[in-house]
Amino acid sequence: MAGGLILAGLGLAAAGFGARYVMRNQALLKKGFESLPGAAGVLDKYYRGGFEPKMSRREASLILGVPPTAKPQKIKEAHKRIMIVNHPDRGGSPYLAAKINEAKDYLESNKQ
């Protein structure tokens, strides 16, 4: 019984020290990860730019993560998925929620 408690304590301590190492060396770990073959596109999955003054089709599709020619059903699914994570009632930003809604409205109203 005591041996199990000691092992559990050592495991928790190791996890804590490992997490501390990761938090303190994130930049170093990122460089190491980028040097791995095939890992180049993983970190660039998300668009890192700011918002344009006026919403464009390109920006709306980047916000929702769909192609500019996406079907209405695909736009609706992407909007729902993103709003679940970013809704202000769940701790998300009201500004980001407004931009997400604006992107959905823009893509739905400007179908060509």
> Which sequence spans correspond to the domains of the chain?
2-34, 57-109
pTM beyond 0.85: the answer is no
Residues in Cβ contact with 84 at an 8 Å cutoff, skipping those fewer than 6 apart = 90
Q: Which residues of 35-63 are buried (b: 16+ CB within 10 A; e: fewer)?
A: eeeeeeeeeeeeeeeeeeeebeeebbbbb
Residues in Cβ contact with 81 at an 8 Å cutoff, skipping those fewer than 6 apart = none
User: In angstroms, rounded to a whole number, what is the distance separating the alpha carbons of residues 91 and 6?
Assistant: 39
CATH architecture of residue range(s) 57-109: Orthogonal Bundle (1.10)
Question: Tokens for 88?
Answer: 């202000």
Q: What pLDDT digit, counting tens, does each position of 21-67 carry?
A: 877 777 776 666 666 665 555 545 556 667 888 888 988 998 898 99
The size of the chain, in residues, is 112
* Mean local confidence (pLDDT), 75-100: 91
**Across the chain, what does the average pLDDT equal?**
82
